[in-house]
Amino acid sequence: MRKLPFKERSLLFAPMEGVTDEPYRIAIERAFPEWDYLCTDFLRVPTVGAFSSQKLINHYGQKVLRTPELRKKTGFQILTSYRAQTEEMVKQINEIKEIEHLDLNLGCPSKKVNAHKGGAYLLSEMNELREIIQIIRKNFDRTFTVKIRIGYKDTDRFIDSLKLFEDEGVEAITIHGRTRDQLYRGFANWDFIKEAVKTVSIPVIGNGDVWTVHDIDRMFDYCECDSIMLGRGALKTPWLASLYYQYQDRLDDLDDFTLLQERRTYVQNYFDELEREYKKEENINVRILNRFKSFSRYIFDDFENAEQLRSSFLRANSLDHFKDLLYDI
């Protein structure tokens, strides 16, 4: 079995569509290097039409490809379906030797993605799923992992899917503790993550409703998972890995006042680094402003009058206006 590109008990920044492109990942790595690992957002494998190796490199990131320190912390995620050109694309990815880790998205709950029989839909079609896993494993000779939900409409095939991945040579499984039909409603069920740890011998990475440093500790203790991946929790608190590693031996020191002061300190740095990277790619401030607004969904939750504060950022009429609001905080 191949060694994973991150150590045990790592904190992983989840791949997120429309978020974790190369500029975002570089900004996060510079602002909060305590994150143990990051990943591209998914690249959809086409059903028809040609695709170039340059597109794969651009998705991974030109700077990441040239920088060993970034490469060793960056996975490449794809999303495919049974009739897509999986073999052809995976062969091309395999030829880019700098890409050491390929992850398959089997958790996307998007209605459009599932209608095209990709993402979490494949958890309901075990024969198609097995064939896809075999194709990827045969054609990618480095680390191969999957990210899943606990089922599509229900959890009846959960254990069968875990054993399928283990039998077909997948190196690790990231598990989000909801079915596809649950979307993000209710609470992630960590019992399934715990059960997976007991069921398979390969590493299990926990995911779902990890919002705080205390949640990180609770998931490690309860699930005994190898590592933890954070998605919405990382968007709310992009410095959460920094906070955890700084306070992990004295979590009782993290009262609400301390956390709010940390948030005030870090939020400025977060947007400064994002602006620095986005401006290398784009010189249209309104596009950067729109991205900043999209990141405002969770990040102000802990402030007093959070809804009013968030609303003021969403109403910002220019990038300079948005930045002025940040300075006021």
DSSP H or E segment with residue 145 = strand 143-149
Give the pairing of strands 43-44 and 101-106. unpaired
Instruction: Tell me the C-alpha distance between 28 and 40, whole Å.
Output: 13
Provide the mean pLDDT of the chain. 94
Please compute the mean of the pLDDT values over residues 55-81 and round it to a whole number.
Answer: 97
Q: Taking the C-alpha atoms of 228, 232, 238 and 240 in order, what is their torsion angle to the nearest 10 degrees? A: -40
- Per-residue pLDDT of 101-142, as tens digits, reads 999 999 988 888 888 888 999 999 999 999 999 999 999 999
Please compute the mean of the pLDDT values over residues 56-64 and round it to a whole number.
Answer: 97
- Per-residue pLDDT of 32-52, as tens digits, reads 999 999 999 999 999 988 789
Of the pLDDT bands very low, low, confident and very high (cuts 50, 70, 90), residue 1 is low
pLDDT at 240: 97
Instruction: Tell me the C-alpha distance between 223 and 196, whole Å.
Output: 9
- In the chain, where does the domain assigned CATH 3.20.20.70 lie? 11-248
> In 3D, which of 206, 329, 278, 247 has the Cα closest to residue 26?
278
DSSP string, 225-253: -SEEEESHHHHH-TTHHHHHHHHTT-GGG
pLDDT at 62 over 80: yes
- Per-residue pLDDT of 73-110, as tens digits, reads 999 999 999 999 999 999 999 999 999 999 999 998 88
- Whether 204 and 193 have beta carbons less than 8 Å apart is answered as yes
Rounded to two decimals, the pTM is 0.95
CATH assignment of 11-248, among 3.40.50.300, 3.20.20.70, 3.10.25.10, 1.20.1070.10: 3.20.20.70
Please compute the mean of the pLDDT values over residues 262-275 and round it to a whole number.
Answer: 94
- Per-residue pLDDT of 194-242, as tens digits, reads 999 999 999 999 999 999 999 999 999 999 999 999 999 999 999 999 9
